[in-house]
Structure 1
């Protein structure tokens, strides 16, 4: 009996490992899982924020070094204390939720590695979602602001790439990164209609999610502005449609464009923190469709959103691009 208790005690003993050491091992494990560098960086930053917060509080109470805090020392009380602190730091509801999700994932991994008996963030939530409407979360561009941008001498003097990417968001609802990473071969003729194929077939192309994979018929305004001629010209000399490149370890396709737009907005008198963003251009397209009372499932298919009401089977199957084009071409900005 005594021998059985001793054997059980040995089997239940947990490795003593510090939070910092566990985080390093966790990130290495994630890097082997073909997860995008951006996702890994966010996991590391958010978990690091928790470790720094809980370790500093522990150091104040016990005068221990921050490295002395071990995984199995973390309790649900620590998790709740951190949650409360997180809610006072001015982030959005969505950001707070993502922070807690990252740390939950870290401790779930620690539990699987036998570093702790339970996940202290198991029942910790961010609280009630704010009552603000989703359409208030990201500012759209007004027609006056669009006119100010598109008619400015700064916009007219900007690069051809910058102008086309701006138009693709406004007249096709593309995400900024989707537009910047297009290849000439992504412009296809489907059932006699020029379309943009949004996919991740290229070596450096990335999609936000599976719903993002789609065909977007090209608005007649873009055709009238010479988009197809531009594509044909690029096709003979370039692999990418535009000269934008992914930046940094997280391969951020949008960073260069955002800098260009911010500089242009400053030049035309749009004040920082009081002006719409690059991402608001896509939101403007979506809002215009909403104002036109276009069916939600049609909008979802065009812009690459998940649709809770319809299950699409395979990419490209039964895509009625002619019907989509009719709705897209209802978009007319008063500029």
Structure 2
């Protein structure tokens, strides 16, 4: 029974939806509306939380779910040890209740009032002191979430795509809360209700990603001293690691690669849309991430002293992603040399532009997803990234060493023996150790 807070004619109210099996206790009413009076926003939230705890208690006891609907002022709370708190009416009264709840280790009540975790045995009075410190700054004077985001962007300087994603989540959360979301007012119950609302239209992974954004921002607020106490975004991921592995992008099969790359439709793109054609051809031989390819400049095309052509990836999502990736001479012979002819060193190889922070690879990825369906390749979760997964899988099945594949695709190696006690392969070694598998790829795509 999470409260929905709203204001009518400058008065505050909380609306509770009564579960269907318990509506006999509320005179068959689907909703109960409780007047909360006036006061600071955090006081209103505390009153709503108290109303919730009393209604839930009455529901569990099978007692009539009634409250003073005209003016929510008075509660009588009896703790497990018999201590009675009467006439709860103000912020100081709520603080007293929290102190008693801390002493009694009433975890659910403490959580609902935003008091943080129950102190462990021997921790002394730290819990109430931490709470008082957090409430020492009035919630209305704390930093709004959108201003916290501005400070996060200023200091962290994230990439454009990250900025866009963070702004989207902050906007969605503030609209859900119907306020500017002062960060000191955000409670775990707000986060829980927001996640439940997201579940109506978002998948599990998307919900987890949005929770990570909020958690990251409020961790930043705590680190910078804008917020005291516990991060209210403490929910665990809905998607397990096992689910993430099994529900990720699919891997192309060899016959699907052959079907698409040898299709007349794709061959025609060499003339109709050479940027798309050579981006796909470069991908099937290098397995680079799409944004690594679409952000390439001419000066990132290199040749070793031994004559090996390679890409110098300078910007990637991980440190291991900054690497040298060999490319076969046959690609230049198939028209790539003519495609880049006349371009200046600082020119981008491909014409794709970064749009709305989604990365320059968004357009090529969308076209590819559309075209494979035209070739009757309909397996779910096949996307541009599936080409990268295919090449890694193909290399593995053709006896390319694990260490070579990790360096080739820009994956971190956590094993101490490899990460600490060995040097990287040079680009000529990478070329030679992957050459036989790459020849099979060339045959598969018909070049």
Match of 2:149 among 21, 27, 35: 27
Higher normalized contact order (CA 8 Å, seq sep 6+, divided by chain length)? 1
Q: Are the aligned partners of 2:299 and 2:345 in contact in 1 as well (CA < 8 Å)?
A: no
Instruction: Identify the residue that residue 310 of structure 2 maps to in structure 1.
Output: 195
Distance change in 2, residues 1:70/1:188 (3 Å) = closer
Deviation at 1:318, TM superposition (A): 5.3
For 2:371, the equivalent position in structure 1 comes to 264
Structure 1 stretches lacking a partner, 5+ long: 1-8, 56-65, 201-206
Q: Deviations over 1:234-267 (max 9, x none)?
A: 445971222222223x161112212332343344
What displacement does 1:11 show? 10
Q: Tell whether the 8 Å contact from 2:311 to 2:324 is kept in structure 1 after alignment.
A: yes
2:296 to 153, 176, 182: 182
Out of 408, 423, 437, the position equivalent to 1:302 is 408
For structure 2, list consecutive stretches of 5 or more residues without a partner in the other structure. 1-131
Q: Is the 8 A contact 1:211 1:304 kept in 2?
A: yes
Residue 397 of structure 2 is matched in structure 1 by: 291
Alignment root-mean-square deviation, CA: 3.3
Aligned match of 1:58: none
CA deviations 1:115-166 (Å, max 9, x no partner) are 5543112x42115615347366211222222222222222122122211111
1:326 to 1:153, Cα distance in 2 relative to 1, 3 A? same
Give the Å deviation of 1:79.
Answer: 3.6
Q: How many residues align?
A: 302
With over 3 angstroms needed to count, the CA separation of the structure-2 counterparts of 1:251 and 1:102, relative to structure 1, is closer
Q: What SS does the aligned partner of 1:195 have?
A: strand
Q: Is the 8 A contact 2:169 2:210 kept in 1?
A: yes
TM-score normalised according to structure 1 size: 0.76
TM-score norm. by structure 2 comes to 0.59
- Rg larger in structure: 2
CA contact (8 A) 2:146 2:170 kept: no
CA deviations on 1:257-315 (whole Å, 9 max, x unpaired) are 123323433443445x74721111111111112222422221111111111123379xx
Matches within 5 A, 1:121-140: 121=233, 123-127=234-238, 129-132=240-243, 134=245, 137-140=248-251
Once the two structures are superposed, what CA deviation does each residue of 1:21-75 show, in whole Å capped at 9, x if it has no partner?
712202211231322121122122234444444x2xxxxxxxxxx2286533333
Which moves more between the two structures, 188-197 or 75-84?
75-84
Offset at residue 325 of structure 1 (A): 0.8
Partner SS, residue 17 of structure 1: helix
Instruction: Establish whether residue 145 from structure 1 lines up as the match of residue 256 from structure 2.
Output: yes
Once superposed, which parts of structure 1, at least 4 consecutive aligned residues long, lie more than 6 Å away?
Answer: 9-12
Does the Cα contact within 8 Å between 1:72 and 1:115 map onto a contact in 2? yes
